[in-house]
Amino acid sequence: MKPFTVLSLLATGVLAAGPPSGFRCLCTYGQSCWPNASEFSQLQSQVSQPLIHPLPAASACYPASDPSGNCTDVIENWTDGVWRSSIPGAMQTPNFETFMFKNGTIDSCYLNTTLTGTCGQGGVPVIGVDVRSVADVQAAVNFAVNHTLKLVVKNTGHDYMGRSAARGSFVVWTHNMKNITYEPTFVPQGAPANETYDAVTLGAGVQWYEAYDAVNLHGRMMVGGASAGGSVGAAGGWLAGGGHSALAPSYGLGVDNAVEITVVLSTGEYLTVNNHQHSDLFWALRGGGGSTYGIVTSVTYRTYPSLPVQLYMFKANITNSSVAQELVGELMHYQTQFTDDGWGGYGELSNASLSFSYMAPNMTNEAVIATTQAWINYTQTLEPQGVTTINLYRTFPSWYEWYQYLFSTGVQNGINGQITSRLLSRDTLENKYKEVAEVLVDCQGLFNMIGGGKVNQIDPNSAGLNPAWRKAVVETMCGVSWPDGTPSKEIEGMLDQLKSWIKSMYDVTPNDGAYVNEASLFEIDWQQTFFGSHYGTLKGIKDKYDPYKLFVVHEGVGSEEWNKDLICRL
């Protein structure tokens, strides 16, 4: 689609008139400023789909809900990320569907109906637009700006900081923007004709399982996320946070593989941005945080020839807890060697085990043995201390078959919780691996080997991404979780434990930063932790492209100018 210009938008009436002069607070449901039925009816006439009225995921299990609701379907699919992403009011982490009042009361809609007997709206937006086109997005943005509404943008609901929800808000739901176009000779707009890419353009609602299926049909693969069922959005917040992948050590992060982005601004203007036009916004959209500069409607990514993949799976059963910290520390120490040899992947800890699954594209069988032998030799020395290990190798004819084997099925959603992450630099892994291991063993954390290699070779200033990524090899994560109905005091106690792990890891790695997409609302010095030295530049770009200050999210660029609820400007 040809991009609109400001003049054409003015001519067609799409350009937002703007909020009232000097406005300080956004409007939420229940206030006198909230649009009336007639005004919503006018919005309805401008969009292609019926307006949506999101409800929490469990709402079908309550008598007061729509009688067509199917509670059995809810129960069967509660932990299925693809199912949850298909529901406008469902978040992948259900605690963000709830709302905790200052007195500790929780407004919620629990799956177990006996906990409260009622289904509250919680933090789920109350009305919004199911956008299917750029024009739908423009109409929704225009409406939100002109009525100064509290707006959220939701795709799949994968967000550990709850930025896909806000109590009493108006939502732009991008989930159904599913267009996929493969172009083996893609030329970015404004680029010379000889600048071509073998690329795929994904609509904002495309999820990774859909993207991988599509490019595989053309014998291609691409840098992307991995989650059980592939429900994470491929052209939304994943890229806005940086976009890590098991393929990143070989091909770079998501931000390094995006060649063009289309976006609707708060003014209503629709832009196509790349390295040749609006390059500053293109820079910011690649790692500068989601729902901050505009609403992305599509992303064009490089693709690569599909290659054979080697899989290396390791598991250690630990009967002697005193040796666990040593084992984890040594694994952290080995990570730089692994990633530089071409491995990438994911691992986890439990009370009595350590396991990981690593992959490497186009690696020979000889190289597999050579690059893992030192680690295997080390772990065998621990057998007398109560450590038993399993090492498995497997070759897959293509990356796609590796992905299907590990991620096409399974569930990992529908659990209340919050997490924190930390990027570990080469320096940390060389000199502080023992201290890092102490925190990881305590929190029984996760670790992703998605840095190093190519990630570290790219100019730190090539994208708005936190420069800490260009020194990072491993991302570690700690988290807490709780069952529905847990009292607010107990939840606060768990969050205090999370804050303790955050401080412990920060004290060990003060210069390493964190991944904004897998972090908490309690990170220390969030501007530096998430965006590093790029924060000031990102703030300037934010002010330039969002003059109406429509896009504001927790720990997003510019959010320091708003109160804790992100409703009123300070």
- Rg value, the chain, Cα: 23
Q: 505 and 468 share a domain?
A: yes
What CA–CA distances, in Å, run from 501 to 161, 509, 550?
17, 12, 34
Instruction: Determine, yes or no, domain membership for 366.
Output: yes
Of 370, 221, 407, nearest to 309 (Cα)? Answer: 221
Higher pLDDT, 3 or 547: 547
* Structural domain contains residue 1: no
Cα(244)–Cα(234) distance, integer angstroms: 11
Please check whether residue 281 lies inside any domain of the structure: yes
State how far the Cα of 542 lies from the Cα of 290, in Å rounded to an integer.
12
- H or E element at residue 442: helix 433-443
Q: What is the pTM of this model?
A: 0.95
| pLDDT above 50 for 8 | no
Q: Is residue 568 in a domain?
A: no
Question: Taking the mean position of all CA atoms in its chain, how far away is CA 94?
Answer: 16
Quick one: pLDDT at residue 66?
A: 53
Split into its structural domains, the chain has a count of 3
Average pLDDT over residues 56-61: 95
User: What's the CA angle centered on 125, arms 121 and 127, to 5 degrees?
Assistant: 110
pLDDT of residue 97: 98
State the pLDDT at residue 9. Answer: 42
Q: Is there a single domain that holds both residue 341 and residue 480?
A: yes
pLDDT 10s digits, 84-126:
999 999 999 999 999 999 999 999 999 999 999 999 999 999 9
Q: Which residues 6+ apart lie within 8 Å of 336 measured at CB?
A: 426, 429, 430, 452, 473
| Residue 334 belongs to a domain | yes
Average confidence (pLDDT) over 307-312:
98
Cα separation, 529 vs 522, in Å, equals: 11
pLDDT band at 69 (very low <50, low <70, confident <90, very high): low
Are the C-beta atoms of 557 and 292 separated by less than 8 Å?
yes
Exposure on the CB side of residue 134, measured as CA atoms within 13 A: 20
Lookup: tokens for 243:
């976009």
For residue 65, is pLDDT > 70? no
Do 355 and 495 belong to one domain? Answer: yes
Percent of the chain exceeding pLDDT 70 equals 96
List Cα–Cα distances, 516 to 237, 264, 287, in angstroms.
10, 22, 9
CATH of residue 92: 3.30.43.10
313-354 residue pLDDT tens: 999 999 988 899 999 999 999 999 999 999 999 999 988 999
Q: Domain for residue 567, yes or no? A: no
Give how far Cα 277 sits from Cα of 90, 262, 273, Å: 36, 11, 6
Give the domain CATH number at 210. 3.30.465.10
pLDDT for res 122: 98
Report whether pLDDT(62) > 80: yes
Q: Are residues 297 and 314 in the same domain?
A: no
Residue 121 lies in a domain: yes
225 and 155 in contact (C-beta within 8 Å)? no
Determine whether 408 is exposed, middle or buried from the number of CB atoms within 10 Å of its CB (0-12, 13-18, 19+).
middle
207 and 109 housed in the same domain = no
- In terms of domains, do 148 and 63 share one? yes
Q: Are 111 and 97 in contact (CB under 8 A)?
A: no
In this structure, the number of other CB atoms found within 10 A of the CB of residue 394 comes to 13
pLDDT at 283 over 80: yes
Spell out a b/e string for 180-200, using b for 16 or more CB atoms within 10 Å of the CB, else e. Answer: beeeeebbbbebeeeeebbbb
Query: Tokens for 540?
Result: 């300037």
CATH value at residue 390: 3.40.462.20
Q: How far is CA 216 from CA 176, 279, 396, in A?
A: 22, 30, 14
| Cα gap 519→420, rounded to integer Å | 4
Q: How far apart are CA 202 and CA 184, in angstroms?
A: 14
Q: Which pLDDT does position 250 carry in this prediction?
A: 96
Same domain as 415, residue 293? no
Contact between 273 and 297 under an 8 Å Cβ cutoff? The reply is no
List Cβ neighbours of 486 (8 Å cut-off, separation of 6 or more).
Answer: 416
- Cβ(417)–Cβ(482) below 8 Å: yes
On whether the CB atoms of residues 530 and 423 are closer than 8 A, the answer is no
Predicted local distance difference test score (pLDDT) of residue 14? 60
* Contact call for residues 416 and 406 (beta carbons, < 8 A): no
Tell me the C-alpha distance between 488 and 108, whole Å: 12
Whole-number Å distance between alpha carbons of 341 and 566: 45
CB 512 within 8 A of CB 468: yes
The answer to whether 165 and 91 are in contact (CB under 8 A) is yes
387 neighbors 317 (Cβ within 8 angstroms): yes
Q: What is the three-class DSSP state of 458?
A: coil
Q: What is the mean pLDDT of residues 436-464?
A: 96
Rounded Cα–Cα distance for residues 398 and 324 (Å): 35
**Domain span at 69:** 6-176+534-561
Residues 294 and 313 placed together within one structural domain of the fold: no
Q: What percent of the chain has pLDDT over 90?
A: 92
Across the chain, which distance is largest between two alpha carbons, in Å?
78
3-state helix, strand, coil in the chain (%, to 5): 35, 20, 45
Are 441 and 514 members of one domain? Answer: yes
What are the tens digits of pLDDT across the range 225-255? 999 999 999 999 999 999 999 999 999 999 9
The predicted-structure confidence for 314-324, as pLDDT tens digits, reads as follows 999 999 888 99
pLDDT of residue 7: 33
Q: What local confidence, expressed as pLDDT, does residue 208 receive?
A: 97
- The mean per-residue pLDDT over the stretch 35-54 comes to 98
Which amino acid makes up residue 441?
A: V
- The SS3 assignment for 68 reads coil
Q: What is the mean pLDDT of residues 285-307?
A: 98
Same domain, 380 and 499: yes
Work out the mean pLDDT of the chain and round it to a whole number. Answer: 94
Q: Are 23 and 115 in the same domain? A: yes
Residue 569 lies in a domain: no
Say whether both 514 and 542 belong to one domain: no
